[in-house]
Structure 1
Amino acid sequence: MVELKTEAELAVMREAGRVVANALAAVRAAAAVGVSLLELDEVADDVLASAGAKSSFQHYHPHFAPTPFPAVICASVNDVIVHGIPSEYRLLDGDLVSVDFGACVDGFHGDSAISFIVGTPRPADVALIADTRDALEAGIAAARAGGRLGDVSAAVGEIGRARGYGIPSSFGGHGVGRAMHEAPSVPNEGRPGRGLSLRPGLTIAIEPMFMAGGRDRFVTDPDGWALRTVDGSRAAHIEHTIAVTGSGPVILTAP
């Protein structure tokens, strides 16, 4: 069931969103050549603790995963698309890193992701991240009251396909609220004018995931979590939690 949020509930979600934005900013600032993914996880955990918030990710156990998620961030490097488990891996010059993070405040969640380059950037990686951000912005712009969920999905997918990227079809955005993942599902491709009617109070995470190799297939790591491109090409993942309102979409996880 899709739950529409009240103004009071949206205000709480905005607080959760601020924690998410602050944690991602802190992780981005700490990410440098030689820093481990576990160290980045600790940075985000410290932000949670200082805000009195709870992790949306740690101990989360969806149906597809063999074990609960062990960390507070997903840290996906280079050819890992999403759901990377933080490890002792130390960042190298030129790594493309995607960090996904969720926080819960007073029973409501916020969820967001960023992609960035550590050290010396490759032009193709810069373009991949910029195009993924363009798709997110297009999806947000389409999330207007009176429209349809397919408008959001189509806006994301059209940019990805036009620019030659692969899109993992079985993973995408979702509703956010009292649970980190709730109805509705928000695919990264769709047909405009189709699907759920967008009404004020709807809160969703829009999260384009693009693969530079142009192929849609991916493989799952032995840990049952990390999704990896089949051809070793790089991937980017950028996300915001937004609210549909009568005056247009509002980003709840903005800094």
Structure 2
Amino acid sequence: MTAPGTQIQRLLAIMAQLRNPDGGCPWDLAQDFSSIAPYTIEEAYEVADAIDRGDLDDLKDELGDLLLQVVFHAQMASEQGAFGFDDVVRAISDKLLRRHPHVFAQARADDANAVVQNWDAIKRQERADKGHTDASALAGISRGMPEWQRAAKLQARAARAGFDWPDPAPVIAKLHEEIAEVQVELARAGDDPLRAARLQDEIGDLLFVCIHLARKAQVDAGSALRQANAKFERRFRAMEAIAHGQGTTLHALDLAAHEALWAQAKQAEGEPEP
């Protein structure tokens, strides 16, 4: 088996040649950090999808695709004289050593909660050392992540500061309250100039509480939503297939027929109607 370091060097050499103005790839040469960023995010989701499907062969490929994104960004930074791949590896290695003093130094952390508390304290100190003056418990949460994920991060940080409901029951009560407020806005006259802004605000509150409920139930909201999306896609495709087998299309059917097909699709998966 080839040593891992040898394969990393091979990958770095391939990426350097792709970005070489003398004989490199025109597409790769045309990219910059901003143009590659969406692919980086997409590849991270592809990794999560492979994990959800339990496909380890695919996971191997998707992790390679994600690693390529790191190598691509590092190569572009190296061309600008900013940093290289070795600097990226050194930075994360140093960070892991620094944030795990209970493993690599003399600190103690007897359980996972203590590890998280230590981690947060070290991150706050790191921000202070860099001159960041924001001392809030919410400081440092990236604005570049998907908003559902940022909501979960904000809530988790607030919870660690003591601002949280004790269990899911009051969250469910709040969920009902937010649904009622959405219903009020939906009932307003459509020509109200502020209706759209208020409705967006209320639906945002509703989504925020849904994320909170998932967190209190110890359910990963992203995984839950991916599962729901997959379920919807699977059943919708089944509806299309049933309609096609009946010599028609979904466009040609009314709502009642759609609901009947949806029920068939659910029953085919072994989920009976309530």
TM band (smaller chain):
under 0.3
Flag the structure with higher helix content.
Answer: 2
Question: What's the TM-score once normalised by structure 1's chain length?
Answer: 0.26
Rg bigger for which structure? 2
